[in-house]
Structures are given as C-alpha cells and as structure tokens.
Amino acid sequence: MRNELLLVLSVLVIFSLTVLSAKLFGERGLVAWTCIATLLANIEVLLLVRAFGMEQTLGNVIFASTFLATDILSELYGKKAAARAVYIGVFASAAFLIISQSWLLYTVSENDWAGGSIAAIFSNQPRLVGASLAVYAVSQRLDVWLYHKWWSFTERRFGDSRRGLWLRNNGSTLVSQLVNATLFNAAAFAGAEGYSSGMLVQIIIATYVIYVVTSLADTPFIYLARKICKPDASAL
C-alpha cells in the first residue's frame, strides 16, 4: 500500500502546488510550473513501480499537472497564454536535453562519486526527452485547442463562461492524454531493452488509467484556481 498512498498524496501535493503557483505568481507562475514539471517528469519517468495492480512509470502525476496548468492558463489568461506556456515548456525540455548530454562528455576525476549514477540516468535521456518533446508539443496544443472548442460549446449551451468548466476541463484533457499516453510510451519504450510488447501495452494502459483518474481529480483544483485567482477579463 505504500506506493498507492504515495501516488494519492502526490496528486494532492502536486496539484495544490500548481494552483499555488497561479495564486502567487499568476501567468508567470504557471509557465514556471510547466517548465519545472516537464523537466522533473523527464527524470521521474525512468522509475518503474507497481501500484494499484499495474506496472507503471512514475512521472505521470507531475506531467498531468502540466495539463492542469495549461487549462488554468486557458481559463484565466486565454488561449495565447496557454499556447505560449507549451512553447516555453518545449524550449525548456530541449535546453535540458542539450545541457544534460554535455555532462556525459566530461572525463570525471578519480575522486568523483556521482559520475556513474549521472551517466546511468542521463544516457537514456535522448530517446526519452526526444519522444517527450514531440509528444508534449502535439498533446498540449491539442489540449489547448480542444479546451477552447469546448469553451465555445459550453458558452453557447449555458450562456455563461463560468458554467461548463468541468466539461471543457475534462473533455479536453481526457482526449489529449490518450494521445499523449499512447504516443509517448510507444516512442520512448518500444524496442527498448527490458520492455516487451506486452509490458509496453500494460504501461500504456496503466498510464492512461492514471491520466483519467488525475484528469477527474484535477477538476476541483481548476475550480479552486478560478475562485482564488483573478482572471484576465479578455479570457472570459
């Protein structure tokens, strides 16, 4: 039960931090959180754990928070702000890939104690981050586009931009997360040593199940952000 408890707690803590970044720093805080979460997810995804009866990589919850961040940006600051956060997240991941790979070019001192661990972790990064860059850009832009399509629908249906928030939040994220889970895991792990086709399918399914749960779980947090953060009037 330890892993299960940690995952539940991570949802509460990570989503709370996402909303807190919006409350304290507004649009810039959400952009900063998008970069932080994207970089951490690229490292955390290397860990494979078993929880809720499924083999799964870590990084799913913190990566899901980037979708919460862009949804809050869409809700409070508009489509351009959300799209801008996606581009900055892609740039941050690309910079991380370039810099982290440069560390592996050095010949470490005989007194070094971290080089072997750094090499073990970051030697896998080109494929993972490369997959993440492409899939992140596609799935996040899809999420932003769908969010505003659902927004137009809910505004026509309910006549009030504040109503239908749950529909545009979940309607956009559930679809974009399916695209993300399938494309990223296929690109990152297909043919990789230690990952059979059966395990890959299991990881994709587990990843999407987690994304469904986190997408539903982030709904109260976007309502909280809408309540405690001051929106940009042009986004409404």
pLDDT at 200: 78
Q: What is the reported pLDDT for 52? A: 85
Checking if the pLDDT of 71 tops 90, the result is yes
Q: Which of 88-97, 145-154, 179-188, 218-227 has the lowest mean pLDDT?
A: 179-188
Region 66-72 average pLDDT: 94
Segment 159-171 shows an average pLDDT of 80
- Cα gap 39→95, rounded to integer Å: 10
Structure tokens at 160: 């009030």
| Rounded Cα distance, 110 and 128, in Å | 30
pLDDT of residue 125: 67
Separation of alpha carbons 18 and 128, rounded Å: 24
pLDDT in tens, 135-161: 888 989 999 999 999 988 888 887 766
Beta-carbon contacts of residue 159 (< 8 Å; ≥ 6 apart): none
Q: What is the pLDDT of residue 132?
A: 73
pTM given for the model: 0.86
Calculate Rg over the CA atoms of the chain.
18
Residue 163 has pLDDT above 80, yes or no: no
Over residues 108-119, the pLDDT tens digits come to 999 999 999 988
Helix (H) or strand (E) holding 200: helix 197-217
Task: Determine the pLDDT at residue 123.
Answer: 80
**3-class secondary structure, 50:** strand
Q: Please, what are the domains in the chain?
A: 2-235 (1.10.1760)
The total of other beta-carbon atoms located within 10 Å of residue 177's CB is: 24
Q: Report the pLDDT value the prediction gives residue 206, as an integer from 0 to 100.
A: 81
Q: How far apart are CA 231 and CA 236, in angstroms?
A: 8
On whether the CB atoms of residues 134 and 126 are closer than 8 A, the answer is no
Per the DSSP assignment, residues forming a β-bridge with 54 are 51
pLDDT for residue 19:
97
Model pLDDT, residue 144: 93
**58-67, 80-89, 157-166, 189-198: which is most confident:** 80-89
Report, in this order, helix, strand and coil percent for the chain, each rounded to 5. Answer: 80, 5, 15
**Is 189's pLDDT higher than 90?**
no
In sign, the C-alpha dihedral spanning 158, 162, 163, 164 is: positive
**Reported confidence tier of residue 211, pLDDT bands at 50, 70, 90:** confident
Q: Which residues pair with 49 in a beta bridge?
A: 56
